[in-house]
């Protein structure tokens, strides 16, 4: 029993080391560290696989070794299993990468209106689809602003709207101050550059990383005390390359979510790369919305100003 399954035990130890020491995996070769951190929760899948194989092999060694990845995974992600949703909140926000190839922008608009959000951010807008979104959202949201391929719709007045330079050569981020009945809040909308996994180049995320640093710098100079960030960051909260943003803001999913809240790809969500983050604001709940014609799921959160 003790001599069988040594390879399985070794796999369990390796998975444990990756999860426990992920911040030490270097990014110098193909951004390997960021790639591992993007899908870090999925390393827990090795546990049931090893468990089944250990039972088949009748390996006591592998069974004992499983304690390691289970303990580390629960320490890192166990809190996401339990719902942290709380009552209250006086502002509901939503964000959605609507997908440039969305075949049904009118239906997507109706779905967003049904969400009940007071503020809606959209990313990956195209000139062709924009009039449809404007028409579909006009009756519910009196105010809106557009900067390049991102936009913001609000039930409350907006001011100070301007594009935010995230160093990619065109407008994919913006900022506005929304005057709600409960006070002012600065709202940022951002769509970080896409990342790809390539055989010869690894995790091609350098452009996204530079944009994240620029966005983090802009938010750090925000004069309003209450800040909300909505958008597709093309990265998870575990990804070290987004530290310029994540170090100064709080994830609504981590603070008040119910489950993992994976948002991409919509057909089989595996990662939460769409984010709602706050500073000086209390998250009360966070959730994903039903699938639209996009390859991303919309996400929403209720916060207390």
Helices 130-138 and 105-114: crossing angle, nearest 10°?
A: 30
| Average pLDDT score over residue span 12-26 | 93
| Average pLDDT score over residue span 208-230 | 97
Residue 251, pLDDT above cutoff 70 = yes
CATH number corresponding to 91-304: 3.60.10.10
Res 157: pLDDT: 98
| Average pLDDT score over residue span 142-157 | 98
The pLDDT confidence band at residue 198, using thresholds 50, 70 and 90, is: low
pLDDT digits (tens, 9 = 90+) for 51-96: 999 999 899 999 999 999 999 999 999 888 889 999 999 999 999 9
- Please state the pTM of the whole predicted model: 0.91
The pLDDT confidence band at residue 203, using thresholds 50, 70 and 90, is: low
Percentage of residues of the chain with pLDDT beyond 70: 97
29 or 80, greater pLDDT: 80
- Report how far residue 124's alpha carbon sits from residue 102's, in angstroms, rounded to the nearest whole number: 10
Res 14: pLDDT: 95
| Average pLDDT score over residue span 227-241 | 95
Q: Domain locations in the chain? A: 6-81, 91-304
198 or 118, greater pLDDT: 118
| Average pLDDT score over residue span 132-149 | 98
SS (H, E, C) 90-136: CEEEEEEECCCCCCCHHHHHHHHHHCCCCEEEEECCCCCCHHHHHHH
Q: For strand 173-180 and strand 183-191, is the pairing parallel, antiparallel, or unpaired?
A: antiparallel
Residue 156, CB half-sphere, CA atoms under 13 Å: how many?
A: 19
The pLDDT confidence band at residue 200, using thresholds 50, 70 and 90, is: low
pLDDT digits (tens, 9 = 90+) for 94-123: 999 999 999 999 999 999 999 999 999 999
| Average pLDDT score over residue span 183-208 | 81
Residue 175, pLDDT above cutoff 80 = yes
The dihedral through the CA atoms of 25, 36, 285, 298 has a sign that is positive
| Average pLDDT score over residue span 188-213 | 80
Residue 302, pLDDT above cutoff 60 = yes
Residue 199, pLDDT above cutoff 70 = no
The pLDDT confidence band at residue 196, using thresholds 50, 70 and 90, is: confident
Residue 202, pLDDT above cutoff 70 = no
Res 29: pLDDT: 75
């Amino acid at each position: 029993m003790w001599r069988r399954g040594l390879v399985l035990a070794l796999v369990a130890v390796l998975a444990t080391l990756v999860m426990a020491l992920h911040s030490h995996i270097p990014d110098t070769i193909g951004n390997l560290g960021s790639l591992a951190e993007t899908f870090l929760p999925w390393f827990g899948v090795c546990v049931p696989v090893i468990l089944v194989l250990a039972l088949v092999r009748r390996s006591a060694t592998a069974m004992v070794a499983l304690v390691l990845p289970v303990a580390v995974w629960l320490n890192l992600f166990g809190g996401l299993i339990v719902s942290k949703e709380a009552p209250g909140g006086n502002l509901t926000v939503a964000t959605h990468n609507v997908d440039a190839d969305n075949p049904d922008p009118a239906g997507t608009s109706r779905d967003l209106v049904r969400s009940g959000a007071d503020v809606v951010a959209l990313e990956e807008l195209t000139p062709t689809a924009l009039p449809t979104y404007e028409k579909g959202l006009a009756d519910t949201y009196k105010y809106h602003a557009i900067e390049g391929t991102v936009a913001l719709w609000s039930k409350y007045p907006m001011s100070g709207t301007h594009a935010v330079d995230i160093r990619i050569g065109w407008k994919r981020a913006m900022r506005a101050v929304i005057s709600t009945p409960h006070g002012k809040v600065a709202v940022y909308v951002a769509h970080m550059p896409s990342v790809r996994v390539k055989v010869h180049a690894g995790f091609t995320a350098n452009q996204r990383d530079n944009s994240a640093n620029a966005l983090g710098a802009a938010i750090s100079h925000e004069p309003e005390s209450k800040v909300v960030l909505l958008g597709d960051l093309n990265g998870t909260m575990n990804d070290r390359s987004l530290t310029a943003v994540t170090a100064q803001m709080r994830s609504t999913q981590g603070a008040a979510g119910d489950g993992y809240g994976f948002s991409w790809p919509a057909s089989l969500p595996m990662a939460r790369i769409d984010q709602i983050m706050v500073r000086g604001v209390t998250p009360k709940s966070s959730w994903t919305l039903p699938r639209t014609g996009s390859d991303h799921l919309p996400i929403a959160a209720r916060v207390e100003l």
